[in-house]
Amino acid sequence: MTMQRKYFGTDGIRGRVGPWPINPEFALKLGWAVGKVLARPGGAKVLIGKDTRISGYMFESALEAGLSAAGVDSHLLGPMPTPAIAYLTRTLRAQAGIVISASHNPYYDNGIKFFSEQGYKLPDEIELAIEQQLDEPLLTVDSDYLGKAVRVDDAPGRYIEFCKSTFPATFSLKGMKIILDCANGATYHVAPSVFDELNATVIELGVHPDGFNINANGGSTKPEIIQEKVLAEHADLGIALDGDGDRVIMVDEQGEILDGDDLLFIIANNLHEAGVLQGGVVGTAMTNLGLERALYNKKIPFSRSKVGDRYVMAELMRLGWRLGGESSGHIVWLGATTTGDGIVSALQVLSAMRRTGKSLHELKKELVKFPQTMVNVRTKQKWDPFCEPRITQALKEAEQKLSGKGRILLRASGTEPLVRVMVEGEDAGQVHQLAYDLAGVVEEVVR
């Protein structure tokens, strides 16, 4: 029988700062529990990185204290993208990496997630062992065995060089003007250097974090900002990253937004034509049906997983494939990384542009997406919409109206107190109406 998790969700532990468990008391105990589970003879070390939220200082200190109490050393990376922490955990031979971030959420949220020593999300059995340890009393090791803390000053430089290594050495971005929005998040001091050192002309946005402006008025959740800037500057493209740098949304030279499905198609097609794709592509239940059909036309296999990068990864491992992603812009290319990486994903798209000599707009034209409308309904807490008969009845009626010419997805978010309503079909007007009608029923029930 599988144990029920008390704290870990689909992507670590996340919530509003202050209430349990996103407070320093819990973080202290969590650091200790992680240290106890990972402790080994001869000593262990854990990397700690964070995004630019004001609460990151507090949680960094609490986790460091907990690890020290368990006899484990902390290597502090400071503000670094989530994928950088995965990479550095592997290359610095640490026993785990801890990320303090709530990704695309506002500054008043935060979270804690983990990577294994191989740079992957922690396996279920380790998360469960940590939860079991949290129920034990916190006992500090003798002073002779307390963990130390050191700062890794060259972490940004290491990661910048890694990102550049994923772009073909024979290519250059010289002559390309790029609008880059770092969302005032963890990539603010590394992403500009990556593209600049590859000889692009970079116009930077969202590179002045103050602890409160992460994801505010920019980034991958608000690509309209770079959309306007690309057109105003006559740029070749725009790149919008999220607060922790594991997602990317792009804008082409005509000001059209490319989401994760568009980018996944371009990357998959480029790797396929280069003969290095190795298998097919994993999407999720949210992936546009148009992507599935476009890949079929290219004779590229496709499989769907549940929503969430850990499920995409699990399906990739099951099938032995290397490329997968979500429409949100979270793309995993195991040929270069072990987790979603917004900078590396953007470089894969730029590589396709350089290899083919085509613009971003030209590359995406072969993907014709089905009309799709997504509506998010905010709830007071995480909640299962299928427990309400009114909602399930409304869902059934909406599916009957589609008459098999589309699909509807209704799901609770794994990271926020939201119910997501997605409708997809051939008729854009019908899709829009059905999505808002169904969302209206959900709003009435949760009100």
Measure the CA–CA gap between 180 and 337, rounded to whole angstroms. Answer: 21
Q: How confident is the model over 300-349, as pLDDT tens digits?
A: 999 999 988 889 999 999 999 999 999 999 999 999 999 999 999 999 99
> Which of 330, 364, 398 lies at the terminal end of a domain, its last residue?
364
Please identify, among 364, 387, 421, the residue that sits at the C-terminal boundary of a domain.
364
* Sign of the four-CA dihedral 363, 338, 216, 371: positive
- Kindly report, residue by residue over 218-234, the tens digit of the pLDDT: 999 999 999 999 999 99
3-state secondary structure 329-385: CCEEECCCCCCCCHHHHHHHHHHHHHHHCCCHHHHHCCCCCCCEEEEEEECCCCCCH
378-436: pLDDT as tens digits: 887 767 787 888 999 999 999 999 988 889 999 888 777 889 999 999 999 999 999 99
* b/e sequence 290-315, b meaning 16+ C-beta within 10 Å: bbbebbeebebebbbbebbbbbbbbb
Domain CATH code at residue 417: 3.30.310.50
3-state secondary structure of 211: coil
pLDDT band at 11 (very low <50, low <70, confident <90, very high): confident
Over range 437-446, report the average pLDDT. Answer: 91
The whole domain housing 417 covers 372-446
**226 and 129 within one domain:** no
Single out the catalytic residue among 103, 345, 351, 413: 103
Which pLDDT does position 124 carry in this prediction? 85
For 35-92, write each residue's pLDDT tens digit. 999 888 778 999 999 999 999 999 999 999 999 999 999 999 999 999 999 999 999 9
- The average pLDDT across 166-193 equals 98
Report the Cα 116 to chain-centroid distance in Å.
17
Assess whether 340 and 215 both reside in one domain: yes
Report whether pLDDT(181) > 90.
yes
| Total residue length of the chain | 447
Instruction: Provide the pLDDT for residue 4.
Output: 65
Distance separating alpha carbons of residues 302 and 280, to the nearest angstrom: 6
Per-residue confidence (pLDDT) for residue 2, from 0 to 100: 46
Do 332 and 252 share a domain, yes or no?
A: yes
Tokens of 61: 């200190």
**Sign of the CA dihedral with 388 first, then 442, 259, and 180 last:** negative
In the chain, how many domains are there?
Answer: 3
Residue 115 has pLDDT above 90, yes or no: yes
Burial class, 371, CB count within 10 angstroms (exposed 0-12 / middle 13-18 / buried 19+): middle
Residue ending a domain, among 153, 174, 189, is 153
The yes-or-no answer on residue 103 being catalytic is yes
- Indicate whether 174 and 266 sit together in one domain: yes
The whole-number pLDDT of residue 42 equals 78
**359 and 411 fall within a common domain:** no
- Averaged confidence pLDDT in the chain: 94
- Both ends of the chain: CA-CA distance in Å? 36
**Angstrom distance (rounded) from CA 11 to CA 363:** 32
Q: Is 141 exposed, middle or buried (0-12, 13-18, 19+ CB in 10 A)?
A: middle
pLDDT value for 155: 98
If phi over 0 gives left and psi between -120 and 50 gives alpha, with beta otherwise, what is residue 42? left
In the chain, % of residues over pLDDT 70: 99
Q: Are residues 309 and 350 in the same domain?
A: yes
297 — pLDDT class (breaks 50, 70, 90) = very high
Average pLDDT of the segment spanning 367-383: 88
Q: Of 288, 294, 320, which is closest to residue 304 (Cα–Cα)?
A: 288
